[in-house]
Amino acid sequence: MEEPEIAVVGTKGQFVIPRDLRRRLAIKPKTRLAIYRKGDKLVVTKLKIPTAGEELDDLFAEIDEANKERKAASEPDVLREIQAYRKEKRARRS
């Protein structure tokens, strides 16, 4: 375990993260941090905010995983379903 660094809380409740830690963790101005309380301790963690592309990649991977055992519908299957739906819809109207 590393030796702890010391930070002093100012009058506005702010504290400075020591330079060495900021460098090692790549914490720069505007870096988002989440702060949690665990008993009498504060846990500070760097937030990773995914880009929209990363979120979509994750979503598509999740959809692929959920549907990997399903076989893809063929074009004739899709056309048959469309025709059956249209036939049923016409029958309801009459």
- The percentage of residues in the chain with a pLDDT greater than 90, rounded to a whole number, is 54
Mean pLDDT score across all residues of the chain: 88
Is 56 a domain residue?
yes
Residue by residue, DSSP assigns 6-48 as -----TTS--PPPHHHHHHTT--TT--EEEEEETTEEEEEE--
The number of domains in the chain is: 1
Is 45 a domain residue?
no
Range of the structural domain that residue 63 is part of: 52-93
Is 73 a domain residue?
yes
Predicted confidence at residue 83, as pLDDT, reads 94
Is 61 a domain residue?
yes
Is 32 a domain residue?
no
Q: What is the pLDDT of residues 14-60, one digit of tens each?
A: 999 999 999 999 999 989 999 999 999 999 999 887 778 888 888 88
Rg of the chain, C-alpha, whole Å: 28
Is 87 a domain residue?
yes
**pLDDT band of 74, cuts 50, 70, 90:** confident
Is 80 a domain residue?
yes
Is 75 a domain residue?
yes
